[in-house]
Structure formats: C-alpha cells, structure tokens
Chains A and B, each alone.
Chain A
C-alpha cells in the first residue's frame, strides 16, 4: 500500500473508486438538457425579481413611518427579500456559474467567462483563489488558503501562535465583513508578510478590487438611498442589513464545508504524485455535507453537498441532490468516511474548534 491516506484501501481499490465516480459524472453530464436550463433560468428570474421587489418594498415602507409597526413589517420584509436575493445571487447562481457549471449551455449570458457577481470580490480573482487554488489543493496545508483563511487555527496540526488567542474575535469580525474577506482572499498575505512579494506585486489585484468595490458601494449606499430623498439613511441601513444577512449566512454555510469535526487535512508530501482516484478520495475526506430540505440546499447554493461539489466542481448544482445518495453509498461500500451532519452539528463543532484552538492546545503530528 503506497498511498498515505487514512483509509484501509489499496491503490487498486482507490483507482476503482475513482472510476466509479467518473462514471457517475459522465452519466450526469450526458443527461444534461432542457430541464437543467429551465432550472437556472428560473433561479435567475426569481433572484432578480426578489432584488427589485425587495428594493421597491423598502421604498414603499418609507411613507408608512408614522404607523411604525406597519413600517417595520414592510421594511423588514423588503430587506429580507433583498438579503435573500443577494444570498441566491452569490451562492446558488454566482458561485456555481463561476465554476463553469452552466457553460455547457453555450449561453453567452450565463457563462463563467463573462459572469460578474453581486459582491465586492471581482469574478476573475475569485476564479483563481477559489476554483484554482482551493479546489485543486483542497485541505493541503500551506497550499489551500481556505484552511483557516490564513488567520484562524482550525486544525490541531496547525502550530499555535499567541495571535490565535484573539481568533474568536477575528472569526466574528470575518463573519460580519465576510464579502471583504473574500475580496482580499486572492492576495497572498503570507508571501507579503514574508516579504517574498511587495505591495507593488499586488497593485493590480487591489485596483481590481477597488474598481469593483466602488461600484458596489455606490449602488447600495449612495444611489438607491439618494432615490429615497429625505429617507437616505433609512435606505442605507436597510441595504446594510441585507448585505449583513448575506455575509452571516454565507459565512455559516462556508465554514461548515471544511472545518467541522472529523474533517481531514493533508500535507504536500502526502499529495505528491497524486492520482485521479486519490484526488477524489482527498476531496471526500476533506469536505463535509449538511443535511436539510430542498429549500435549505438551494439557499446554501447546494454547498450543503460540499463533498459532491468538490468531487464534481463543474456539475450543475441542481444535480448534487440526486448524486449525493449515490456518492454516499459508494463511500460506504469502500469504507470511506462520509462526513454529513445537521447544520447545528457542523456549525457547532466548527465554532467549538475555533474557540478551543485559540488556546495553546497540544500540536497534533502532521499526517505522515
């Protein structure tokens, strides 16, 4: 047995496991058609209607301010609709379109090469930091910047530093400002700290973020509020609440992807010369699913099927629910742990880890 993974499988069995996954992917790919196109077109229509409807409701609430409870109800509903539209736009639509999940339609309007999403992170930088770095190097220490986002200690194999004492605070701050964390994610902060690169090397990236951020801020905090005239500040607050709602929700879902108890991390040595079968195995061992109903899956951008998403990143997300039971059964057959739990369990163990590892716990040995 030459591989270095925590499963009792020989090399041949791992490759066989990989071939079975290839077969599932090929089967789904061959069956893509009108039904899938209808799904994403409908999702986009719902999202845009929610965005416009939400903003209109916020405006409609303003003259109702004298009837304060009514005003609160209407502006609350409008803000929730706007927040919901941002959640759908970023997660079930944007994230997945940018993964090229819908490129098979050959539709110039819904294509990874032209899509831009409603967040301060420019799409091109996201496609590098996420599609390339994170999805290629899933959970490989020193390579995958998503393991703690370079500020949090989320696994016992990461050495403790005094700075980690403040990580409960950082984690909370990141939740509130999540879209800004994502925007800066493609900038190699570690290399900057080590002076391997200078600010000049990241000037282009920062300029890209600046251009995108200016438009995003102008939209939510200047233009729409200006349309409300004397109620400028009220609209600013409502829009900020919608953005906050999206930040907290996407943070919670995304932190459940790779940090809950039982997830595995890897070293570069372990993945050297990795075959396709072993790459698949690493994706399963390094990802966690969240159980829930159809609406929950859609609102999570189907990242509740994180394992399937990591196995097949460019498979249309509406197909993850149907392949998940097949992948789980396959893992059971091969004796590969399949990490799936309730939202409370996955988020709870993640937050507990962040609190616990803030303290100088004993450093676990790196996987051999």
Chain B
C-alpha cells in the first residue's frame, strides 16, 4: 500500500512540476535560493582561510542532496573562470564527523582553476559541486598500525583522515612522513604539530625539500619508516613519490597494503610532433583509425563506419559536436588546440593532434 501511495505522490509531483515545463520548478527556486536547487547542486563559500602563502582553505556549504563523504574522498568543483566553467577535483579536508552541514577543501594555487579558487573566490559566492567520490578512504575498521606519506597539497585527504580519527577518538600507531618545500610551506603545519604533541602514538616527520634534496628511494623510506612493512599505508603526492612507494610495497609483496591518490596535471601537454596526427579512438563504437592530422575527424569517423551525426560540415550548425574524452585536437579553422577532456568539439572542423579519444 505504501508503495502505491508513494508512486501516486511521485506521479502527482511530476504532473504539478509541469507548471515549469520545459524547465522544472527547481530552476525557479534556484533564482531565490541556489542551495535549494535539485536540478543541479551548488555550494556557497562560507569562509576562506589562508593556510600558507599559496594555499587556502574554503569552507563550503553544499546544497540539497549532499551526502556525507568518507574520510579521504574528493569532490568535483565547477567554477566559472573568465566566463568558462572549469571542473576540477579536490580532496575534502574536513572530517565527515563535522555536523554543521559544511565541508572544507584546501587548495594550493598551482593551476589556472586552483589559482582562481585561492585568489579570486569571494565569501558568499556560489560554485557547482558534485558528490563525494573516490576509494582512497579510511576503512571503517581502522588498522592498528598506519603509515601516511604525503607531499605538498597531498596532505588534504590525509588531514581529513586524521581529523576523523580524532573526532571518533580512535588512537592508532601512526607514522606520518610529509614533504614540503620549507617550514612556512607546510599546509596545516600548526595543527599537525599540535597533534604530534598531544598524541604520542602519532609520530610526524616533516621533510623540508629545500634543505634536504635527497629524493625518496627504498633506503630513504627504510630510514624514515623502518617498520613500513607492518603498516597499512596511504600516500598522496607527486607521481615520482607514488612510483617509489609502489615498487617498495610490490617487492615486499605487500601491494595490497598501499593506497595511493594521484593528482595529475589538469592539462596534458601537447605531445611533441603531434601535428603529424595520431590514432583516433571512437570510444562508443570501439573503433581506432589513423589520422594524418589534417583530415576532419568527422570524415575519419564516417570512413570507419562510425555513426556520427552531422549537419553543415563546415562548423556552423554544431550538429556534429562530440565530447573529447582524451587527447588533443586542432581546430582546422583557427589552428587553435583543444585539449581539455570533457569539451564538446565540432568534429567536422577539428583534426587529431596526437592520439585522440572521442565519445562517438
């Protein structure tokens, strides 16, 4: 009976919602209260706090439909920069136990979008926000002995884990190695040092890479964390650090005990000599063809029997627009390059610049 009445109410709500067709009532609600929208999810910037010279913590209040994250997860943020929406992923730095409906992200100004978040975002402004994602998380049953290896802004998901353990009163044997340029560049430096003072079971080693330029290798890792083989380890930092750790854990046949989170560069650099073309992969059709770098992608798709919609074939009608999954294309009209994954490109006037993957 309950199912039937729910179904009737849902149907009724759909019909009443037609008063806003072709929109939904949420579009009008969002005019007054962006956080109450249901057709999209926004977050309001509630506070901004500078952590270091180039890192800032933003306190966000996500709108309706938000679900609490697990310690270590990240979230997608969409921000308008020069009129264009840039979507980037940031780890949540506040503990899931925080119960005032707010979260924090801590951003280091290292790319276009991050710079805008650190320098230009004002308290009271809105941005679009996704749901928490990612499997770089602390398990519900926290292991007795843990290792954390972090570098630069890689501290953010681990800070979330530490705060969560403090909030839950879970004291564990932890060794935490953190790499930062110098003492003034340690994000959450004061909080980490305070934790180390308060909890003897939390041992913190901060390496200042400006003074100590030795790269992380097997011997150095042994020196920093002698008993790493007994610890389940979470690591977040640059590729080189993660690669070293992965080989250590693989050699010790403990690959399962290492969890890593990478932050890749937002924009892939143009491969050298890519103007000579490359392989074009049509993901939906699962077809790969070679491109000479001059032929429009639409013609390559058609020659390969890929079902690509098209219209004017001259770049005016946008019927053929397709999503760029990966790689770089060149707009044959302007010579301009487009390499941001997720962009919709006009395949009738774009050619491959290097290997390309399209959602066609």
Contact = CB atoms under 8 A, between A and B. Distances in A.
Nearest to A137: B312
A48 B316 contact: no
Interface stretch (B77-85, B231-239, B269-277): B77-85
Given A215-B18, A215-B21, A314-B318, A132 B312 contact: yes
A34 B80 contact: yes
B38 to A, nearest CB: 13
Contacts of A34: 80, 82-83
A86 to B, nearest CB: 12
B16 interface: yes
Which residue of B15, B80, B318, B342 has the most chain A CB atoms within 10 A of its CB atom? B318
Interface residues of A, number: 47
B321 interface: yes
Q: Which 9 residue pairs of A and B lie closest in terms of their CB atoms, listed nearest first?
A: A37-B83, A132-B311, A100-B318, A116-B22, A131-B317, A136-B312, A33-B82, A33-B83, A215-B21
Interface residues of B, number: 31
Contacts of A128: 311, 319
A212 to B, nearest CB: 8
B19 interface: yes
Interface in A245-273: none
A224 interface: yes
Contacts of B31: 45, 48-49, 52
A321 to B, nearest CB: 18
Contacts of B317: 127, 131-132, 135-136, 313
Interface stretch (A9-17, A105-113, A158-166): A105-113
A289 to B, nearest CB: 19
Contacts of A216: 21-22
Given A107-B85, A215-B22, A48 B27 contact: yes
A248 to B, nearest CB: 22
Interface string A127-142: 1100110011000000
B344 A113 contact: yes
B318 A112 contact: yes
A99 B318 contact: yes
A44 B259 CA distance: 46
A209 to B, nearest CB: 14
B33 interface: no
A103 B27 contact: no
B343 interface: yes
A105 B311 contact: no
Contacts of B319: 127-128, 131-132
16 contacts: A22-B333, A34-B80, A34-B82, A34-B83, A37-B80, A52-B28, A103-B321, A106-B344, A128-B319, A131-B311, A132-B311, A132-B312, A136-B316, A219-B18, A219-B20, A279-B314
A111 B82 CA distance: 17
Contact of A104 (B16, B18, B21, B84): B84
A116 B311 CA distance: 19
Interface in A183-229: 212, 215-216, 218-219, 223-224, 227
Interface of B: 15-16, 18-23, 27-28, 31, 40, 80, 82-86, 311-312, 314, 316-319, 321, 333-334, 342-344
A156 interface: no
Interface of A: 22, 26, 29, 32-38, 45, 48-49, 52, 99-100, 103-109, 111-113, 116-118, 127-128, 131-132, 135-136, 212, 215-216, 218-219, 223-224, 227, 276, 279, 313-314
A36 B80 CA distance: 12
A29 B83 CA distance: 12
Contact of A32 (B16, B22, B83): B83
A106 B18 contact: no
A350 to B, nearest CB: 25
A52 B20 CA distance: 9
A35 B84 CA distance: 11
Given A118-B21, A127-B318, 4 more contacts: A106-B84, A106-B342, A107-B85, A112-B321
Contact of A100 (B19, B86, B321, B342): B321
Nearest to B312: A136
B316 A135 contact: yes
Contacts of A103: 318, 321, 344
Contacts of A32: 83
A128 B342 CA distance: 24
A212 B317 CA distance: 23
B129 to A, nearest CB: 13
Contact of A135 (B21, B23, B86, B312): B312
A282 to B, nearest CB: 13
B340 to A, nearest CB: 8
B278 to A, nearest CB: 24
A343 B19 CA distance: 35
A215 to B, nearest CB: 5
